Structure 1
């Protein structure tokens, strides 16, 4: 009797080797987001200047110590820390966006001049891009550690490499730069470009990001025109 073996999952190397992606791109994005928080005016920050960056730094340090080098350790505790880190970043970005909108609508002091308006608007916008890129990075496929072991059979986000596997190396996996590009293009085109959302959470998240970016850019440009004229 011939025994038939099931073919390996397309996201799993045939030899079972697990190679996680480097930690440093994600860590660098978090550090940049922390820096942007420090640059925000006091009225636009969720907490005093050092509170959120300190909390985010401690969470990032925990992830680095718990899973250094490459991200490949599947741990419930580390997963909780990662979600907490992204949650804090997202909460801070949303809060800053709401406060920026309020300042623009009510002609507040932070947006009274063209220089402060453009600097503050660019800082808030860049912070939202980083926050959403890390949100996609952490939610898609159960996070980077889970993706290192196995890509989901039904992805939440369909990258071009997954839609056209003949154009990409075997066992390709999305890495942080792919999610950063997704967040950046979604914030500028206000719609999917090369990455298609398939899961409901992905569609909702991309829609929210597009609306947030549209509101920020629209109000900043309108306010800048008003200030300059």
Structure 2
């Protein structure tokens, strides 16, 4: 039995694309469930656009990031931009629904807010995963790429803990960063270093804060 070096195993785990692709597919599927009361665009538009943009990404690297093409990163960033813009439109529709005096169905409010919040977390998790140090392909040590400066400072990168010397962040780590930014409205254990990630985290926290504030305002009104 051939024993795979630990560093190689960690790198292969870090290079998996399918968790990010699966997360995006789940979010696109959730758009079908957006209540009609806050929907100002055709229901099929975002899932269709997202599916069209995901096709080249999955076709080139279905499970692992074995090939790198600069245009693929632009395709993915375009998908993420579309997700955030559409999510902002849904949030505006939710706020309009709340302030119009027609918000009599609590389930519509809770369902809409939950969908917007989940979409917000996943979209920015993929965004952090894609931009940090030039993307997952550039971060892999076996590829001859000039690694950019770190955009996010993970605690594993600063602590000299046995067993974590060759650690690389995977999609789950970026998902946790996005989750904490959406719940605490600020970074927790992982610090943003670059201006672009600080801007992304600001936008994400603002969307999350507005979404939760809408639900809280309605809850106070009902009580």
Same fold (TM over 0.5): yes
188-197 vs 89-98, which moves further: 89-98
Which residue pairs with 1:102 in the alignment? 96
- Residue 75 (structure 2) pairs with residue 81 (structure 1): yes
Q: Cα offset for 1:25?
A: 0.7
* Contact 2:38 2:112 (8 Å CA) reproduced: no
Which residue pairs with 1:137 in the alignment? 129
Q: Distance in 2 between matches of 1:43 and 1:85?
A: 25
Which residue pairs with 1:220 in the alignment? 215
* Contact 1:117 1:224 (8 Å CA) reproduced: no
RMSD: 2.3
Q: Cα offset for 1:199?
A: 0.5
Which residue pairs with 1:203 in the alignment? 198
* Contact 2:68 2:137 (8 Å CA) reproduced: yes
Q: Distance in 2 between matches of 1:213 and 1:169?
A: 32
Q: Distance in 1 between matches of 2:187 and 2:218?
A: 27
Which residue pairs with 1:117 in the alignment? 109
- Return the TM-score normalized by structure 2: 0.85
Q: Distance in 1 between matches of 2:159 and 2:202?
A: 25
Q: Distance in 1 between matches of 2:212 and 2:89?
A: 16
Which residue pairs with 1:191 in the alignment? 186
| Long gaps (5+) in structure 1 | 1-12
Which residue pairs with 2:32 in the alignment? 38
| Long gaps (5+) in structure 2 | 1-6
Q: Cα offset for 1:166?
A: 3.0
Given the alignment, which residue of 14, 21, 27 partners 2:15? 21
- Return the TM-score normalized by structure 1: 0.83
- Residue 152 (structure 2) pairs with residue 157 (structure 1): yes
Which residue pairs with 1:90 in the alignment? 84
Which residue pairs with 2:118 in the alignment? 126
| SS of residue in 2 equivalent to 1:70 | coil
